[in-house]
Chain A
Amino acid sequence: MRFRGNLGSYLVTGPFAIVLAFPFYWMLWTAFKSDRDLYNVDNIPYKFSQGSPTTRNFSFLFHHTEYPTWLKNTVIVGLIVVVITLALSLPAGYALARLSGRFGQSLGIGIFLTYLVPPTLLFLPLSRVIADLGLQDKLASLVIVYPSFTVPFSTWLLMGFFKTIPVELEDAARIDGASRIVTLLRVVFPISLPGILTVVIFSFSLVMNEFVYALTFITTSSQKTISTGVFTELIRGDVFFWQGLMAAALIPSIPLALLYNVFLNRFIAGFTGGAFR
């Protein structure tokens, strides 16, 4: 009986896992192929032949393209956006979690709903604003705009986390003479560290997923992030540098996916918690 239940699970998850993970397997496979091997229709794509596997594509990517610069830009933008996001959403999330009554709840949902306003609705007016500010082609434009979707999202997640912290804990600290701000910094934030880390990971991931703003605001190669750099710079006209493209796609995907998995359960708890509970 138990075995039959297991078998069913494998029969469902197995094929799905193969289809869903296949593009990543294919990135890995392609990244190690030589030109002679890859661009020959007679070769079996699932096997390595002439000149493969090779690490030449990786060294080409890192030494002859601006890929390292895009990685660096992505990390810089990601880190600054994370700092801005935490500075704005930590206090707001806390206050919303502790505000009792209808008003606090409505405000929380209101902030969350702004996350539903997509970049594709805002990129035209924002491109205008960015141009007027003289920030075109500068990483600063992304740093300013990206918190517009990380802040609502993070505030919502943090609100859910803070709700799980018992108020009694804060009361105890306050009886010992700590002020509200000190209580927040010394008691509430430290025990919320898992929640805060979750927000860091997911804000970073949202930054790497963003495409439309990066495409609209940045045209100089040296200022691009990986989300647009890989696609717009490694394809020149109709010349596709496929092995490099696949290597470039694989390198950031795997560490991010691993981190994502570690924090997934907390993410779900925060996402489905909040005001939907």
Chain B
Amino acid sequence: MEAASAAQSRPRHRRNFLEERRYLAPALIAPAIIFIAALVGGPLLLAIYLSLTDATAGALGGKWVGLHNFIEAWRNPVFRKALGNTILFTVVSQMIVLVSAGLLAHALSKPFRGKWFLRFLIILPWAAPIPLGAVAWLWMYDSLFSVVNWTLVHDLLPGPGSLHLYKIVNAVTPWTIQPFDPPQWLGEPNLALGAIISVHAWRVIPFATVIFLAGLASIPSEVDDAAKVDGATGLKKFWYVTLPLQLPIATVALLFGIVFTATDMTVVYILTRGGPFNSTQMLTMWSYQTGINAGSLGEGAAISLYLLPVLIAVAVLMLRFARRTEVS
């Protein structure tokens, strides 16, 4: 067969060349590799180079300053706040995401009426563009017309609303809810942190849920049957059967969630721009303000490069899991 097709294509040299596997594969892959090398690899190296110079937006060639930018960035309290917040946002939002997505995936893996519609609603935050979704949250956390506050004040707390949910809380729990002033979600440092975490979690929950669902669906029904025969049910089955089988794919979802949250600038930029008083500053936002607004390209690049170890760790872990799933 090989010989026949080779004979047929002999008249034209170019076709002949493309018939050979060892030439065809590189010819097909090369354009993509070259493009990625030029637009990801190149700029990444350039970012590392810039971080070692005192380049500014105006002057093209910067002087070599070694690790000066990294040290200078570290000395700034705003940077340390930004670093701490990046970790805080990522860890807390991913904890919320894991629990929520676990519950949701478990519930959605069973058949029930209206599942398609509920799934559609749940996936909305991931499917819609995040710059637009974040604008909606900006409005919902508005200082004066916040619908979140209105609902809290009128339905949960004593007020002119209709639900008076506070009465249930007061009756059932030992705590008593007192009326309080509506919180300024984006104006008070601690609340602003919470607001940003809520938007990050809101965004990633749907993604983690669909990946978890895929993980659940990939468990063969024989495993279920075998577990049933062995008498494993409920929590026991979840712990010894479902969880270990789902762990690799769940880890991949988590790693993606970490990357999406830690390297995102959209949410913070739209909601607070790092304020009030840099209390919600993130590495990405601080790098933007230093590099673009203040024009210190070198220091801006150094700040964003502090994210690189996290990304490398994630990449290494992903490779690990890729190998493990391959073996099993």
Contacts and interface: CB of A to CB of B under 8 A. Distances in A.
Interface of A: 5-6, 8-10, 12-14, 16-24, 26-27, 30, 38-39, 41, 44-45, 87-89, 91-92, 94-96, 98-99, 105, 107, 109, 111, 113-114, 116-129, 132, 144-145, 147-148, 151-152, 155, 171, 174-175, 177, 179-181, 205, 208-209, 211-212, 215-216, 226-228, 230-231, 240, 242, 245-246, 248-250, 252-254, 256-257, 260-261, 264, 268-269, 271-272, 275-277
Nearest to B123: A261
Nearest to A84: B35
B145 interface: yes
B107 A124 contact: no
A219 B101 CA distance: 38
Contact of A226 (B132, B249, B269, B322): B132
B118 A13 contact: yes
B29 A95 contact: yes
B5 A177 contact: yes
Interface stretch (B165-173, B185-193, B212-220, B227-235): B212-220
B215 A272 contact: yes
Interface in B80-128: 100, 103-104, 106-108, 110, 112-113, 115, 118-128
The main secondary structure of chain B at its interface with chain A is helix
B50 A124 contact: yes
B51 to A, nearest CB: 9
Given A212-B266, A230-B131, A268 B44 contact: no
Interface residues of B, number: 106
B107 to A, nearest CB: 4
B275 to A, nearest CB: 14
Interface of B: 1, 4-5, 8-9, 15, 18-19, 24-25, 27-29, 31-33, 35-36, 39-41, 43-44, 46-47, 50, 55, 60, 100, 103-104, 106-108, 110, 112-113, 115, 118-137, 139-140, 142, 144-145, 147, 150, 154, 202, 205-206, 210-211, 213-215, 218, 248-249, 252, 259, 263-266, 269-270, 284, 287-288, 291-292, 297, 300-301, 304-305, 307-308, 311, 314-315, 318-319, 321-322, 325-326
A20 B107 contact: no
A114 B315 CA distance: 9
B15 A21 contact: no
Contact of B122 (A17, A44, A144, A171): A17
Contacts of A121: 44, 47, 263, 304-305, 307-308, 311
Q: Which of A145, A181, A250 has the largest count of B CB atoms less than 10 A from its CB? A: A181
Contacts of A129: 43, 46
Given A8-B107, A253-B129, A253-B133, A16 B100 contact: yes
Contacts of B315: 113, 116
Contacts of B211: 268, 271-272
Contacts of A14: 118
